[in-house]
Amino acid sequence: MMYNSLLYGGRMLGPYVRLGFYGGFSWMLGLACLAIAVALALSIIAIVRTSKKYVSKGSNAQNIIAERFARGEINREEFEQMKKDLKL
């Protein structure tokens, strides 16, 4: 018992009792968890923001006829008729 009290400060739990959880490095574990949580949140925000950029306005068919009209494949009357047909 004398050996225990001299070496461990009178406690029988071991030399690391005074240092806390994981030998005093519990703050590092907490900091690592916080960094992971922040990185995950920022990743989710970035994914949501970039996914909104790729949502096209209007339907795909409207985009196709607009491109065909721009290239000169169809004339204005055909373009207007197709656009009117798509709005039904």
Same domain, 3 and 43: yes
Distance CA 69, CA 86 (A): 15
Full residue range of the structural domain in which residue 20 is found: 1-48
Q: Give pLDDT tens digits for 21-41.
A: 555 667 778 889 999 999 999
Question: DSSP class of residue 11?
Answer: -
Distance CA 34, CA 8 (A): 33
Rounded Cα gap, residues 73 and 85, in angstroms: 18
Has this prediction a pTM greater than 0.75?
no
User: Are both 29 and 65 inside the same structural domain?
Assistant: no
pLDDT digits (tens, 9 = 90+) for 41-77: 999 999 888 876 665 565 688 888 999 999 999 999 9
Residues 35 and 3 in one domain: yes
In 25-84 the beta strands, taken as DSSP E runs, fall at none
61 and 39 assigned to the same domain:
no
Contact between 54 and 75 under an 8 Å Cβ cutoff? The reply is no
